[in-house]
Structure 1
Amino acid sequence: MKKEEVKSSALLLLTAAIWGFAFVAQRVGTMHVGAFTFTGLRFALGSLSLLPIVIFTGRRREKSNNKVETKSSFVTAGIIAGSALFTAASFQQIGLIYTTAGKAGFITGLYIVFVPILGIFLKQKTHVTTWLGVFVAIIGLYFLSVNEGFYIELGDWLEIIGAVFWAVHILVIDHFAKKVDAVKLSIMQFVTCSALSLMAALIFEDISIAALSQIVIPLLYGGILSGGVAYTIQAIAQKHAKPSHAAIAMSMESVFASIGGLILLGEIMPLRGYLGCALMLAGMLLSQYENFTKTKAEASTTVTEQ
């Protein structure tokens, strides 16, 4: 393996770790403030954290960018992507009120499986291994979330719905990323998600300075480290990463969420739950089999920020 590929894989693994531990930050946030409040402030910080990237790379992008782009095009794209992001993030954050960071991480990771399934409606080809991955992931979900009374708890249902919308968000990003600047799109979608979340917070939640003072560190982590920092690392890493390495590394996000929940929050699953996690991870990787067989030039790897 080339030195650049090893470095890229390590950086992608670091990105997955940052995003995985973000579930812990979000879980802590639910203990003090409403879901919309936390999400709104988190993505406000996320948009601000991306501004330096625009400032330092703007001129170079203008010189090398061959995309036909207008101000209205990236604003429109950002609003649409931000609306999808708001929906996905809201279900995820509300779900974390009722479930653990570890379970939320693995269930959210199902977006990797849902992307090719939803792609069918866009007339995208789906490999047979994708369906095998779906089958294995569903079995894993059964062991992780279905209780003895044969029902799924509210928090897990919300995370499942959120995973579907994360997949929708990825497809939206994939569509617009070919037409507008990726960083501008990211900032605009973060701003849109933040605005929608804060509006919802003003309507449905009580916001107090005392409560906000309790979530400074989770907010900084979720907004800046999981936003601008992780985004930058991912962008650098994917320049030289093989699709197979990227798929494996990013699938580890759910594993890091479980590790973070165990170490920092003392979340312990029964053996049945860990078996479910293992099966879900296997299903996620199987669903990415096509990427394993592609070269870097052939693949178009799209990853969403959590």
Structure 2
Amino acid sequence: MRRDQLLGLLYLNLATLFWGSTFVLVKDSLQALGPGQINFVRFAIATLVFVPFLFRRDPGLWRAGLELGAVLFVAYLTQTVGLQYTTASRSAFITTLYVVALPLLLGVLGHRLGWPIWLAAGLAVGGVGLLSYDGSPPNLGDAWTLGTALSYAFYIWRLEHFAQRFPALPLTGIQMLMVTLLSLVWMLGEGPTWNPSNFPFLSLLYLGLVASALCIWLQALGQRLVPAPQAAVIFTLEPVYAAAFAYVLLGERLGWQGMLGAGLIIAATLISQLRSTKPHPEQVTPEM
């Protein structure tokens, strides 16, 4: 394995570990702030890091960054809203469905799908069903989080193309700026719910600097060096990390049915990366 590919794997693994911790922090921050407020503050902090890289006069770069930022806003918003109603562990495993949704999306766009994709889709649906019925009935948060999985699948598809064309730092900075602006609009619609006495300063600082600025930059760097199928497999570790953090910090536990559902989702994400006799949809770079 080449040195640059090993470096890319390191970038993606670090990002996945940090992302696994965010479910607990966002869940805790929702006790004091609304979803729009959390996302506005965390991405405003992240944007400040990239201010020196926002002075590029490249229309193509700005179009790419604004497009990716809009999709990223939807992904983070749906996940944050979902965490108001569902547990951090369930949110993490349902979010992982983007690994299955990505090749299915490419199939809708005209790529041929092999048997691993259909098997993975069936397992994933079964896994989400078991996970959603574990100890409590399905809730609104599960539905919102499915929106996260679909949005993030679209984001990875588009990022794979743009990351090859534009430098990672300004591309990431423009995305952060776009998410901040859209989160501001959403926050204004939520109305005032600030609770200064219980403001999660440290959590939001971590979410902004580490989980947003650093991780999205690491992802952009990693996907320049690692093919999408390998990157998707690495990302399947995120719910494992999230469940561990939720167990230690929030005391959340999955029952046997939830564990079985989580296992099916992990199996589905791994099977979706198998090669078949047909071309694997993620191994084809879409024409733009």
| TM exceeding 0.5 | yes
Structure 1 residues 195 and 17, CA, compared in 2 at 3 Å: closer, same or farther?
same
Say if 1:37 and 1:205, in contact at 8 Å, map to a contact too.
no
Corresponding residue for 2:186? 200
Deviation at residue 209 of structure 1 after TM alignment: 6.3
Query: Matched residues, percent identical?
Result: 29
> Is the aligned partner of 1:162 residue 2:145?
no
Corresponding residue for 2:199? 214
> How do 1:270-289 and structure 2 match up within 5 A?
270-289=255-274
Deviation at residue 152 of structure 1 after TM alignment: 2.3
Say if 2:83 and 2:91, in contact at 8 Å, map to a contact too.
yes
Secondary structure of residue in 2 paired with 1:31:
coil
Q: Which runs of 5+ in 1 are unaligned?
A: 63-69, 301-306
> How do 1:1-306 and structure 2 match up within 5 A?
9-51=9-51, 54=53, 71-146=58-133, 152-208=138-194, 210=196, 214-234=199-219, 246-290=231-275
Q: What CA deviation, in whole Å up to 9, does each residue of 1:142-196 have, x standing for no partner?
A: 11013689x6211111101221122222233334444443432221122111111
Corresponding residue for 1:303? none
Deviation at residue 81 of structure 1 after TM alignment: 1.9
Structure 1 residues 218 and 299, CA, compared in 2 at 3 Å: closer, same or farther?
farther
Deviation at residue 260 of structure 1 after TM alignment: 0.9
Say if 2:168 and 2:220, in contact at 8 Å, map to a contact too.
no
Say if 2:47 and 2:213, in contact at 8 Å, map to a contact too.
yes
Structure 1 residues 104 and 208, CA, compared in 2 at 3 Å: closer, same or farther?
same
Kindly provide the amino acid, as one letter, of the partner of residue 40 in structure 1: F
Q: 2-side partners of 1:274 and 1:241: how far apart?
A: 30
Using the size of structure 1 for normalisation, the TM-score is 0.80
Deviation at residue 273 of structure 1 after TM alignment: 0.5
Say if 1:12 and 1:237, in contact at 8 Å, map to a contact too.
yes
**Which deviates more from structure 2 when the two are superposed, residues 125-134 or residues 99-108?**
125-134
Aligned residues: 282
Using the size of structure 2 for normalisation, the TM-score is 0.84
Deviation at residue 2 of structure 1 after TM alignment: 7.4
Q: What CA deviation, in whole Å up to 9, does each residue of 1:175-221 have, x standing for no partner?
A: 4444443432221122111111112112223153606x621111111
Deviation at residue 247 of structure 1 after TM alignment: 3.6
Deviation at residue 132 of structure 1 after TM alignment: 1.2
Corresponding residue for 1:304? none
Q: Which runs of 5+ in 2 are unaligned?
A: none
Q: 1-side partners of 2:104 and 2:18: how far apart?
A: 27
Runs of 4+ in 1 over 6 A off after TM superposition: 1-7
Deviation at residue 280 of structure 1 after TM alignment: 0.3
Kindly provide the amino acid, as one letter, of the partner of residue 143 in structure 2: W
Say if 1:50 and 1:227, in contact at 8 Å, map to a contact too.
no
Structure 1 residues 96 and 82, CA, compared in 2 at 3 Å: closer, same or farther?
same
